[in-house]
A = this chain, B = another copy of it.
Amino acid sequence: MATDRLSMIFAALADPTRRAILARLTEGEATVGELAEPFDISLPAVSRHLKVLEAAGLISRTRSAQWRSSRLEAGPLREATAWMEDYRRFWDESFDRLDAHLKRTLARNEENHHD
């Protein structure tokens, strides 16, 4: 597995439970118990997901073992989005081309109907 920062961020996002945990944390800090509640998974399983998210920098955790809570960190998501933004130009062009193609096709169909 690649261990560069951006790869670790994307790998951490490649799991629906981890993405749901991040979504929950946008509402504020939460303990492992609070994070486990909506999911049908054990506390150790949630802890493992939190470790992956923490290693990628996507969350930070307070030190206190008993009431350890997690919070979302905005930086890495921003970084990953910045990477994706470079491709926006490409897909905007793709969709522009598709759009132009559809318009031509529609125009041709219109012409055929009028024949």
Partner of A87, one of B2, B22, B91: B22
Q: Is A114 engaged at the interface, CB distance under 8 Å to the other chain?
A: no
Instruction: Determine the residue in chain B with the shortest Cβ distance to A75.
Output: B91
**Contact in complex: B11, A10 (CB < 8 Å):** yes
Copies in the complex: 2
A13 touches B10 (CB 8 A): yes
Interface residue range, chain A: 20 to 34
A65 lies within 8 A of chain B by Cβ: no
The answer to whether A81 has its CB under 8 Å from any CB of chain B is yes
Q: What 6 additional pairs, Cβ within 8 angstroms, besides A2-B15, A8-B14, A74-B94?
A: A7-B13, A9-B14, A11-B11, A11-B14, A74-B87, A81-B84
